[in-house]
Amino acid sequence: MFDVSHIHHIAIICSNYTVSKHFYHTILGFPIIRETYREARQSYKLDLAINSTQQIELFSFPSPPPRPSQPEAQGLRHLAFAVESLSSCIEHLHEKGIETEAIRVDELTGKRFTFFADPDGLPLELYEK
């Protein structure tokens, strides 16, 4: 049996490690678990806690290729975060200078959601519980 309990982590390769670290840690508020520099790969790996079971891993690599297209490229389409209050999260992002799309309503669930982008243009979604 393929017994999966949850997603453990999401790995993101960033074009500017310092900018992405600031965005995910300082602006979005994800606590740092550990930060490691891997000399052999000339790469940082930053583990951030989303909650007690899930993490985001940020990687820096020398000259990573850009994402091929937005947002409908093969692979990860977007990353969605469940939030209690969509309005308060949007207000927080706007205070930090982060633009969000207009609020939409999921036609299948009736839940409100919006999108914004990380420093590399990765689409991020806020989905109200």
In tens digits, what is the pLDDT along the chain, a chain of 129 residues? Answer: 777 778 889 999 999 999 999 999 999 999 999 999 999 989 999 999 999 999 999 999 888 887 776 666 667 778 999 999 999 999 999 999 999 999 999 999 999 999 999 999 889 999 999
Domain presence at residue 70: no
**Same domain assignment for residues 51 and 16:** yes
Domain range enclosing 28: 7-64
Model pLDDT, residue 71 = 61
Domain presence at residue 57: yes
Domain presence at residue 53: yes
Q: What CATH number corresponds to the domain at position 13?
A: 3.10.180.10
- Which residue do the tokens 């965005």 mark? 23
Model pLDDT, residue 73 = 66
Helix, strand, or coil (residue 88) = helix
CA-closest candidate to residue 97, choices 120, 119, 79 = 119
**Same domain assignment for residues 58 and 103:** no
| pTM, rounded to two decimals | 0.85
Domain presence at residue 110: yes
Tally of domains in the chain: 2
